[in-house]
Homo-oligomer: A and B are copies of this chain.
Amino acid sequence: MATTSTSGTGCPVYLGANVFGDRWTLLILRDMMLHGRKTYGEFLESGEGISTNILASRLRSLEEEGVVWRRQDPQNRRSFHYGLTEKGMDLIPLLLEIIRWTGRHFTMNQARTDLVRRIETDRDGLVAEIRDRALSITAG
């Protein structure tokens, strides 16, 4: 599972920051983990206005890093589905930690406040639930 470090300093924060230390990458991972999005068109519609070239480059990097897989859509052979690998699903706790921190330091609406409370009280259960949903996309 482990790949060889290619960084000069070998610092784990540096290695991690090179994989997901980018706001657009974090938003794509959010769309996969929390919103069940799996096509290029669905990621484009996210609401934050990601551009097509940034989306394409971030998806390519995530695939190269082994965080995301890409497969031909069985219904439309010219289209692709994207989803989380095991390595990608192991980033679910990181995403939840981002949400917990933001929930404490910014004002949130009720649905989001409920999510933050769930993270604080039942993080493991929520990670398992998001994993199961991600796996059902892989199978589907």
Contacts and interface: CB of A to CB of B under 8 A. Distances in A.
Interface in A22-75: 22-23, 25-27, 30, 34, 47-48, 66
Contact of A116 (B3, B11, B12, B112): B12
A13 B26 contact: yes
B105 A90 contact: yes
What's the interface size class on A, roughly? 35 or more
A128 interface: no
Contacts of A100: 93
A107 interface: yes
B10 A17 contact: no
A135 interface: no
A10 to B, nearest CB: 7
B1 A104 contact: yes
A98 B17 contact: yes
A78 B54 CA distance: 41
Contact of A98 (B10, B47, B94): B94
Interface of A: 1-5, 8-18, 21-23, 25-27, 30, 34, 47-48, 66, 87, 90-91, 93-95, 97-109, 112, 115-116
A-B complex: 10 closest residue pairs judged by Cβ atoms: A21-B23, A17-B23, A12-B102, A16-B98, A13-B30, A16-B102, A17-B26, A12-B99, A9-B47, A94-B97
